[in-house]
Structures are given as structure tokens and as C-alpha cells.
């Protein structure tokens, strides 16, 4: 069994039972104590579980827990970069796109700086700052107003009113979680309302979500899986998730890490 497969098995056990013991994993997976401890260390560094004496436990975020932008930007950086590069290939010069708040859409913004004649709508302060730092005369950036969330999104009735009158070719949506049961979700009720308005404004919905978002559920649904025209994830997405998404969304793209 490859390290990635073994770590995915460990993570699935943690999520299913709430915790695992090193001794049990050594016995069941047929590897050394040191190998399991390295796997747990890797998963802990990626923010997927919490190491404890003799094993590991689920981090246990509630459906309303919302990490700040800085904390989220440190997670799954290679995966987000791969997803962002692949998403940028879907943007043509002379189009209007919307980027929701999130660290994956923030990564995408850096890849769109040189796209000609682009109109960008966003409710993300960091995303807007990326474009404003690299000014060019053939680009228009519209930053919605609203109330600022811990993830630096602008949300609420002001944002919703601004977005409601707009129409874009493609929305690139970052999400807190995605699952077969709950769809694409967020832990912030006001942000879900704002994101739903973004979805309604777009001719095409592209969801950008790394593999850790699968089976993570926030308190509020933004959209059902079937509403996504494209979902872009990374090579760590488990097979069950790939099968589920392939059946429900318009297209599933797995961004391979080319670094």
C-alpha cells in the first residue's frame, strides 16, 4: 500500500470512529510503528487530524467553525496551487468572472493577473487586493460591499444587493465542504446567502475544492452537487468521492501537481 493510500485509510478511520490507536493501525495495516507515527505526523501537519498520546483523534470542528484567512491559507498549499492553475485555463480574455472568498480563489487570482480584458467581481478583500496591486487598463475589478467575516469575505444584504444586479460568465466558488448529502457548504449563514446570489449570477459554476473538503459539512448549503458545471479537486480526492462527483456534476477535473 502506498503512503498516500495508507494515510487516506487512516483518515477515513479517524473520521468514522473519532480516533485511532497506533497499535491498532500497526496491526491492521501491517507496517511499523514508526511508519504509522510518520503518517499521523503528516496528516496532523496538513490539519486533518490531531495527534494525541498513542494515536490520533478527529479535529472536531463544528458546522459553524470558521477559520480565519491566514489559518486557511497555510493548509493544502500545493493542492490549492494545482487547482488554481487548472482553473485559470478555463478563463478566456474578454470575459466577466466572479471569484468568491477563499484561499483557493485567492490562489486563482494570482494566475489571472495577466489575462487581458478581464472583468472580475468578488466579495473577497484579499482577492481584490491581488488585482489592485497589479494594475492594468484593460481590467475592471468590482469589490462588493458588506460585513467582513473571519475569512475576509464581504457578506450580508449590501453584498447580496450588489451581486443581484450583475451577470458573469463564470463563477469560481471556494467552499468549506462538500458531500453527497449536503452539497457545497459553508459555516457562515450570511456567507451562504451571498454565495447563493453569486451562483445565481453566473452562467457557469466552477467549484474549487481540495480533497480535504470531501465529507466536511458546514451549517449552510450554498448549492447542490448537481448545480456545479465543473468541480476541480486534486489527486488526493478518494475514489468514492470521485465516483459520486462524476455522477452528479457536469465535469470533474483532477488537477495533477506539476511542481
Chain position carrying cell 456545479: 228
pTM: 0.74
What was the pLDDT predicted at 253? 97
Q: Give the residue from 20, 62, 24 showing the smallest Cα distance to 43.
A: 20
What was the pLDDT predicted at 49? 79
The pLDDT tens digits of the residues spanning 214-246 come to: 988 888 999 999 999 999 999 999 999 999 999
Please list, in sequence order, all residues whose beta carbon lies within 8 angstroms of the beta carbon of residue 239, skipping any fewer than 6 positions away: none
What was the pLDDT predicted at 140? 95
What was the pLDDT predicted at 63? 46
What was the pLDDT predicted at 259? 45
Question: Which domains, from first to last, does the chain contain?
Answer: 3-57 (1.10.10.10), 69-255 (3.40.50.1360)
Which segments of the chain have a pLDDT < 70?
A: 59-76, 257-259
Amino acid at each position: 500500500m502506498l503512503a498516500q493510500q495508507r494515510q487516506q485509510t487512516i483518515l477515513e478511520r479517524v473520521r468514522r470512529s473519532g480516533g485511532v490507536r497506533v497499535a491498532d493501525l500497526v496491526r491492521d495495516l501491517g507496517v511499523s510503528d514508526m511508519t504509522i507515527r510518520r503518517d499521523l505526523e503528516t496528516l496532523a501537519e496538513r490539519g486533518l487530524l490531531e495527534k494525541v498520546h498513542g494515536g490520533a483523534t478527529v479535529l472536531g470542528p463544528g458546522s459553524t467553525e470558521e477559520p480565519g484567512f491566514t489559518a486557511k491559507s497555510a493548509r493544502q498549499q500545493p493542492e490549492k496551487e494545482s487547482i488554481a492553475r487548472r482553473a485559470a485555463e478555463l478563463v478566456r480574455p474578454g470575459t466577466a468572472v466572479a471569484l468568491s472568498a477563499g484561499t483557493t480563489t485567492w490562489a486563482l487570482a494570482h494566475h489571472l493577473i495577466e489575462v487581458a480584458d478581464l472583468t472580475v467581481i468578488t466579495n473577497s478583500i484579499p482577492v481584490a487586493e491581488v488585482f489592485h496591486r497589479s494594475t492594468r487598463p484593460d481590467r475592471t475589478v468590482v469589490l462588493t460591499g458588506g460585513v467582513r467575516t473571519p475569512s475576509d469575505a464581504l457578506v450580508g444584504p449590501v453584498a447580496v444587493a450588489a451581486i443581484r444586479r450583475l451577470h458573469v460568465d463564470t463563477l469560481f466558488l471556494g467552499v468549506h465542504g462538500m458531500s453527497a448529502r449536503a452539497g457545497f457548504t459553508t459555516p457562515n449563514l450570511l456567507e451562504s446567502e451571498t454565495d447563493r446570489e453569486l451562483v445565481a449570477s453566473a452562467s457557469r459554476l466552477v467549484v474549487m475544492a481540495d480533497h480535504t473538503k470531501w465529507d466536511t459539512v458546514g451549517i449552510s448549503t450554498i448549492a447542490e452537487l448537481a448545480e456545479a458545471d465543473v468541480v476541480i479537486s486534486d489527486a488526493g480526492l478518494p475514489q468514492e468521492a470521485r465516483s459520486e462527483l462524476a455522477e452528479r456534476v457536469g465535469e470533474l477535473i483532477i488537477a495533477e501537481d506539476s511542481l
